[in-house]
Amino acid sequence: MSTEYLNDMALFVEVVKAKSFRGAADVTGVPNSTLSRRIGALEKVIGLRLLHRTTRRIELTEAGQVYYERCRRIVEEARIAHEQLGEMLAQPTGVLRASLPVDFATIYLAPLIAEFARRYPGIAFDLDLSPRNVDLVAEPFDVAIRMGEQPSSTLIARLLARLTPHLYASPRYLKMAGEPRDPAELQQHECLGFPKSGPWVLHNDEATAEVRIGQRFTVTSVGMYRSLAVHDQGIALLAEGVAADDLAHGRLRRILPDWHGEPVPVYALTETRLLPAKTLRFIELLQERLAQPRADAIS
């Protein structure tokens, strides 16, 4: 593939992004007439029309849409390759766009993001903490942090940590309901968690036990059922980081200390392995910090 052919692909991508030759000319500095001629030459090489041209705008043909999706990735990966080489010794810059789970981000990631911001003052942040699963292919996100095993996909999943949950309840709840001495006694207690995820599976060094989650509270937020536990509503399976402040101030107590829940993996998801420096440095920091003792539990 010639350099001229690759350049024409890059020009085609800019024309599609701008939705006009004039807009692409403003971005690239290449005259309208040259852009039109180069795209026309590209269409002749391919043997298919890529664009419907009108006096006011351009639209992609069906073939053009397929070709654009391929070209966009090739051009972006080529740009990133050059950027990575240029930034190996430089401070990364730009806007880091990340999708984060709200409770995990608030409790675990906020101090790490602050550390990252201090380390790289040239980076700005666009953080989406909505519960939806963003589309890393169709939407302009650099990385998504996700909890739990991930379904098979074309995305690249980098393991950040495996986190192990433990059991907590408020002293007042334990005084009213009694403190369980083994997992079987949890069946007589209100167990707070995600009922739709099924029973808790608890482990110690020698055995495994299943505990049915109570149905009184159907909650989809770790922060919410932590608060319910603090307010004497039951027993929660929580991360040490989630429970640490309440534990230190006596609002929660750890119970059945020899038992723990299933370790939960935390992943950084990206569309490609070839990452700009801002994203790569961010993932590296999370891998380093989340592997430290504070991040040894989450539910």
Helix axes 240-248, 222-230, angle to 10 degrees: 30
One domain for residues 51 and 197: no
One domain for residues 134 and 213: no
Q: Lowest mean pLDDT: which of 2-6, 12-16, 57-61, 153-157?
A: 2-6
One domain for residues 32 and 178: no
Asked if pLDDT for residue 211 goes beyond 50, the answer is yes
Specify the DSSP class assigned to residue 190.
Answer: -
Q: Lowest mean pLDDT: which of 22-26, 123-127, 130-134?
A: 130-134
Domain assignment present for 108: yes
Q: Are 96 and 65 in contact (CB under 8 A)?
A: no
Asked if pLDDT for residue 90 goes beyond 70, the answer is no
Q: What is the mean pLDDT of residues 219-247?
A: 90
Half-sphere exposure of 229 (CA within 13 A, CB side): 30
Asked if pLDDT for residue 214 goes beyond 80, the answer is no
Asked if pLDDT for residue 55 goes beyond 80, the answer is no
One domain for residues 51 and 185: no
Domain assignment present for 160: no
One domain for residues 82 and 23: yes
One domain for residues 193 and 48: no
Looking up residue 172, the CATH number of its domain turns out to be 3.40.190.10
For residue 40, give its domain range.
Answer: 3-87
One domain for residues 213 and 178: yes
Asked if pLDDT for residue 292 goes beyond 90, the answer is no
Give the list of residues 6+ apart from residue 49 with CB closer than 8 angstroms, or none.
43, 61, 63, 64
Q: What is the mean pLDDT of residues 132-140?
A: 80
One domain for residues 7 and 31: yes
Domain count for the chain, please give it.
3
Q: What is the mean pLDDT of residues 31-54?
A: 87
Angle at 88 between CA 82 and CA 91, to 5 degrees: 105
One domain for residues 39 and 66: yes
Looking up residue 23, the CATH number of its domain turns out to be 1.10.10.10
How many Å apart are CA 165 and CA 226, to the nearest integer?
A: 12
Confidence of residue 296 (pLDDT cuts 50, 70, 90): very low
Asked if pLDDT for residue 239 goes beyond 90, the answer is no
Q: What is the mean pLDDT of residues 208-236?
A: 89
Domain assignment present for 295: no
Domain assignment present for 26: yes
State residue 182's pLDDT score. Answer: 93
Domain's final residue, options 44, 70, 87: 87
Domain assignment present for 281: yes
Domain assignment present for 299: no
Domain assignment present for 298: no
Confidence of residue 88 (pLDDT cuts 50, 70, 90): low
One domain for residues 117 and 52: no
CA nearest neighbour of 145 among 133, 163, 162: 133
One domain for residues 148 and 205: no
How many Å apart are CA 269 and CA 101, to the nearest integer?
A: 13
89, two tokens: 């010794």
How many Å apart are CA 164 and CA 226, to the nearest integer?
A: 16
One domain for residues 184 and 254: yes
Specify the DSSP class assigned to residue 213.
Answer: P
264, two tokens: 């939960």
Asked if pLDDT for residue 176 goes beyond 80, the answer is yes
Q: Lowest mean pLDDT: which of 22-26, 174-178, 248-252, 281-285?
A: 22-26
% of the chain exceeding 90 in pLDDT: 39
Asked if pLDDT for residue 1 goes beyond 80, the answer is no
Asked if pLDDT for residue 295 goes beyond 60, the answer is no
Confidence of residue 143 (pLDDT cuts 50, 70, 90): very high
Asked if pLDDT for residue 294 goes beyond 60, the answer is no
Domain assignment present for 159: no
